[in-house]
Amino acid sequence: MPANLPPEYYKLEDEYSATKSREGKIKILEKMLSVIPSHKASQKVRGEIRRKISILKKEIDKEALKKRGSRRKGIKKEGAAQVCLLGKPNSGKSYILNKLCNKNLKSTSIPFETKTPEVAMLDIDGIQIQLIEIPSVYKGFYEKCGEFRSLIYTCDLICFVIKNEDDLNFLKSEIGLDKQYISIKSKDFEFMKQKIWDKLNLIKVYTKEPGKDVEKTPIAMKENATVKDIGEKIHKDFIDKFKFAKIYRKKAKVQERRVGLKFNLKNNDVVEFHTK
């Protein structure tokens, strides 16, 4: 540390150590910045202080989000998963929602047209995925986008809409969260469904009543879900009065078999419940 820091600075350092609350610490750090002379030798100290402020702010946010949890007013999770679209202005997010989800959002070359999150349902082979366009990301987004941050934090997957790697790095640094994501170039949005599906680690399972045709709409389940898991999702009677289930698996050696509740399901399995 350079020796030419003013005495006020060292007083503030003592205050900082004695202060417990994050908000209080931020105030002291900001005061420190104002008393440090801005010459080259103090650049490193200033940088460290700014970094501390940013970490504290993120911690405050995380705590607030945890407290609010799912009681947060706003967008209710619907469908098998919730995916947030994030991108720079004019990256084509509304364009994608219009094309893939039959929406009719404003999508022109005017930046920041979308001002609040827009929700749409994306049909992937019969499975409904909730797709949300978050208003465009700009420099300083993290500090000012409190209202959408909880969405970004709690969604199942982030989809960055980018033109190049620079865009991706910019977006990642602006949202400041470490969670799973995919990125698409706005022109490959037709492949988006596949990319989203692959990343969500879900399987499609079909149901069938004995003696009837297979239901057309599949149910999305987590990979390695069991017969019990899907039974619980459909009706508790299937579990309470369970006798056995029949699994139909087209490409397998044994195409039809009787199984118990613990049986692990695979993508495209057909399940038929038999009850007492």
The entry of Mg ion, ligand GTP, none that residue 87 binds, CB within 5 to 8 Å by partner kind: ligand GTP
Pairwise CA distance, residues 27 & 58, whole Å: 15
Identify the residue among 2, 47, 111, 146 touching ligand GTP (CB under 6 A).
111
Count of residues that bind ligand GTP according to CB under 6 A: 19
Which amino acid is residue 55, in one-letter code? I
Per-residue x/- track, 153-182, ligand GTP (CB under 6 A): ------------------------------
In the complex, what is the shortest distance from the CB of residue 149 to ligand GTP, in angstroms, rounded to a whole number? Answer: 18
Compute φ and ψ for 98, nearest 5 degrees. -65, -45
Per-residue x/- track, 178-207, ligand GTP (CB under 6 A): --------xx-x------------------
In the complex, what is the shortest distance from the CB of residue 172 to ligand GTP, in angstroms, rounded to a whole number? Answer: 17
User: For residue 178, with 0-12 CB atoms within 10 Å meaning exposed, 13-18 middle and 19 or more buried, which class applies?
Assistant: exposed
CB 105 within 8 A of CB 94: yes
Structure token digits, residue 101: 């989800």
What residues contact 205, with CB distance under 8 A and at least 6 apart? Answer: 218, 219, 220, 221, 225, 230, 265, 267, 268, 269, 270, 271
Identify the residue among 82, 114, 130, 150 touching ligand GTP (CB under 6 A).
114
Q: Which residue has the tokens 């350079």?
A: 2
Identify the residue among 12, 93, 152, 192 touching ligand GTP (CB under 6 A).
93
Which H or E element spans position 174?
Answer: helix 165-175
Identify the residue among 42, 94, 207, 226 touching Mg ion (CB under 5 A).
94
Total Cβ atoms within 10 A of residue 258: 12
Confirm or reject binding of residue 104 to ligand GTP (CB under 6 A): no
CB 86 within 8 A of CB 137: yes
Pairwise CA distance, residues 167 & 88, whole Å: 7
Confirm or reject binding of residue 231 to ligand GTP (CB under 6 A): no
Confirm or reject binding of residue 109 to ligand GTP (CB under 6 A): yes
Residues 31-70 that bind ligand GTP (CB under 6 A): none
Identify the residue among 24, 72, 79, 89 touching ligand GTP (CB under 6 A).
89
In the complex, what is the shortest distance from the CB of residue 86 to ligand GTP, in angstroms, rounded to a whole number? Answer: 9
Q: Which residue has the tokens 């992937």?
A: 124
Identify the residue among 91, 114, 130, 150 touching Mg ion (CB under 5 A).
114
Where on the chain is the footprint of ligand GTP (CB under 6 A)? 87, 89-95, 107-109, 111-114, 136, 186-187, 189
